Chain A
């Protein structure tokens, strides 16, 4: 009945509005309804797919347009590898922190004895905190844990140095800042997964003599693990591709891949376009891998938790 037709095969002079397309469908139920997706496809092609695709192609081209592997091999120089290393380390720290904190907090608020009010206010507040990011967040943490931050000064009076978590200079500090929006995100992702744990499982485990800890270790945790890891992969990707927060905290001295690309691109022109293409291409590869892992974990997670 339905004759599928590639969007590209459609007459380009045909009206692309859904209204006109709809009337057309009545007399020809075939390919014309594909016209409805032409505007969005064209838009995304122009502002996302072609620029991204061109970036990938340009990563393999010399300034004259000849094919080369030189750009991509540049990013394997120690200096750029250390940038990727720093970004990956930061992302792993942020994901790990978010995973542990998120799981503990989420299991606290879904606990049957937790008052309803706590649960609803925590999830609402998480939604707000998860949206507090970028430049203002950077300033908030500078005034808290920066060199003259409120908490830093208070601890200094007590003789404790917080230099190890200075958000302007240390990876751990930056991971803490990222967790301001990643931890609540984790919470929001995990609460439904924890809700999916059926009470029957806990009762069945109890009937077999399992205490609280045994139940968590042998039943709940294995079931939750794919959801937990999946959410951590999302946090990892979020931290890996973040630029604004890191740049606002460390200025142009930062060594993250995103900051490096930013420095190369600053001021409307790309200083060393070939290097920027190659670095951006490297980031795309890593994020694509993360997305594949996330997809596989999601599939695994949906087996038990529906």
Chain B
């Protein structure tokens, strides 16, 4: 910290010319911390020898030729879509209703949206297994994952929607809509929802990121989702697992970049929603 030597009077002008050396060093160290593992991963995904030749895109080709890759990836995509639809159906009307008619519940919702952190996946699954076992029709199908992921998506989607609703003057919009003869339902669908578009999209992308990357629950319930498939490959072929990880990383980044582009119109806060 001693490097922050901003002298008294012309502090800002002097400081503007050069960034203290220590700070430049820190930014470089931090950059290396993030880039080196990715570079190593990419290097591994092209690594090894195949029939005496360097591998090139061999591992990527192997991945894409594997029917298990396609089926596990498709399963994860399906579950992600189901999670997004379910969580939006549940949360958009409820958040809207709370803002409009039950504002006193907002602190309660803030508390509720913290609960999934108190009960992390590895804890929740211990309680869920005995509880869900009797509901065989749900428990035996992969759709059960979507129902569980809604719980983990709740804090992120709720916060996104809550911030979106705070940013618009809901009361005025609702009154204007009522004066024009609109019911509460049409106020939600035709007036509020268009204003919430970027909040819904941002929250939904985060939900996709959660559902596509979730490993704990799906592996412990023995469903072959994409992260579970990736883990299993990693137990046998390191290079192929590296190639798969690169694919997964690129997908996450594509999600985050599009999220950033959507959010740019309004808030530009970065979003964090991975499951660990």
List the interface of chain A (C-beta within 8 A of B).
Answer: 4, 17-19, 21-23, 25, 33-34, 36-37, 39-40, 43-44, 47-55, 58, 101, 104-105, 107-109, 111-115, 118, 122-144, 149-151, 178-181, 183-185, 188, 202-203, 206-207, 211-213, 215-217, 237-238, 241-245, 247-248, 251, 258, 261-262, 265-270, 273, 276-277, 279-280, 283-284, 287-288, 291
For residue B97, which residues in chain A have a CB less than 8 angstroms away from its CB?
Answer: 18, 21, 33, 36-37
Chain B residues within CB distance 8 Å of chain A: 1-6, 8, 11-12, 15-20, 22-24, 26-27, 30, 33-34, 36-41, 43-44, 90-91, 93-94, 96-98, 101-102, 104-105, 112, 114-132, 147-148, 150-151, 154, 183-185, 188, 209, 213, 215-216, 219-222, 227, 230-231, 234-235, 238, 241-242, 244-245, 248-249, 252-253, 256-257, 260, 269-276
Question: In the bound complex, how far is the Cα of B91 from the Cα of A101, in angstroms?
Answer: 37
Name the A residues within 8 Å of B219 (CB-CB).
Answer: 244
How long is the Cα–Cα vector from A137 to B128 in the complex, in angstroms?
A: 27
Known: A40-B90, A48-B115. A112 touches B16 (CB 8 A): yes
B26 contacts which chain A residues (CB < 8 A)?
A: 104-105, 108
Q: Which residues of A contact B5 (CB under 8 A)?
A: 211-213
Question: Would A139 and B215 count as touching, CB distance under 8 A?
Answer: no
A245 to B148, CA, bound (A): 20
Contact B40 A111, beta carbon cutoff 8 Å: no
**Beta-carbon contact of A133 and B16 below 8 Å:** no
- A62 CB to closest chain B CB (Å) equals 14
**Which one, A52, A144, A251, contacts B124 given CB within 8 A?**
A52
A48-B151 contact given A104-B26, A135-B231, A237-B117, CB 8 Å threshold: yes
Contacts of B188 in A (CB 8 A): 18-19
Chain A proximity of B36: nearest CB distance (Å): 6
Instruction: Establish whether residues B27 and A150, one from each chain, have CB atoms under 8 Å apart when the complex forms.
Output: no
Top 7 nearest A-B pairs by Cβ distance? A127-B270, A22-B184, A55-B127, A241-B120, A19-B185, A51-B127, A36-B97
Q: A135-B227, A244-B227, A287-B120 are in contact. Are A143 and B131 (CB under 8 A)?
A: no
State whether B94 touches A37 (Cβ < 8 A): yes
- Tell me, in angstroms, the Cα distance from A290 to B121 when the chains sit together: 17
**Complex CA–CA separation, A161 to B180 (angstroms):** 74
Give CA–CA (A44, B109) in the complex, Å. Answer: 12
Q: Which residues of A contact B94 (CB under 8 A)?
A: 18, 36-37, 39-40
- List chain B residues, Cβ under 8 A from A140: 37-38, 40-41, 245, 249
Kindly identify which residue among A111, A122, A178 contacts B20, using a CB–CB cutoff of 8 Å: A111
In the assembled complex, the Cα of A107 lies from the Cα of B126 at a distance in Å of 41
With A and B bound together, what is the CA distance between A268 and B230 in angstroms? 19
Q: Closest CB-CB distance, B198 to chain A, in whole Å?
A: 16
Sample (23) of A-B pairs whose CB atoms are under 8 Å apart: A17-B93, A25-B184, A37-B98, A48-B151, A50-B131, A52-B124, A53-B127, A107-B23, A108-B27, A127-B256, A139-B230, A140-B40, A143-B43, A178-B276, A183-B30, A183-B33, A202-B6, A206-B6, A211-B5, A241-B117, A267-B222, A268-B220, A283-B123
A206 proximity list for chain B (CB < 8 A) = 6, 8, 11
How long is the Cα–Cα vector from A188 to B269 in the complex, in angstroms? 9
Which one of B17, B104, B112 has the greatest number of beta carbons of chain A within 10 Å?
Answer: B112
Judge whether A180 and B256 touch: CB under 8 Å.
no
CB-based contact A36/B101 at 8 Å? yes
Give A183 to B31 CA distance when docked, in angstroms: 12
B residues within 8 A CB of A131?
A: 209, 252, 256, 271-274
Give the shortest distance, in Å, between B237 (CB) and chain A (any CB).
11
Of B3, B96, B274, which contacts A133 at CB under 8 A? B274
Knowing A128-B256, A270-B129, say if A207 contacts B8 (CB, 8 Å).
Answer: yes
Known: A242-B276, A265-B220. A130 touches B270 (CB 8 A): yes
- CB pair A22–B183 under 8 Å, yes or no, is yes
Residue of B90, B97, B183, B185 most packed against chain A (CB within 10 A): B97
Q: Contact at A144–B40, with CB atoms within 8 Å?
A: yes
| Residues in chain B near residue A143, CB distance under 8 A | 37, 40-41, 43-44, 238, 242
Q: A113 contacts B18, CB within 8 Å?
A: yes
Bound complex: CA of A132 vs CA of B273, how far in Å? Answer: 10
CA distance A160 to B30 in the complex (A): 22
Closest to A108 in B: B23
A127, A244, A266: the one contacting B275 at CB < 8 Å is: A244
Cα separation A133 to B231 with both chains bound (whole Å):
13
In the complex, how many angstroms separate the beta carbon of B79 from the nearest chain A beta carbon?
Answer: 15
Query: In the complex, how many angstroms separate the beta carbon of A87 from the nearest chain B beta carbon?
Result: 11
Q: Contact between B12 and A130 (Cβ–Cβ < 8 Å)?
A: no
Please tell me which one of the listed residues A104, A141, A243 contacts residue B37 in the complex, with CB atoms under 8 A apart: A141
Are B34 and A241 in contact, CB atoms less than 8 angstroms apart?
Answer: no
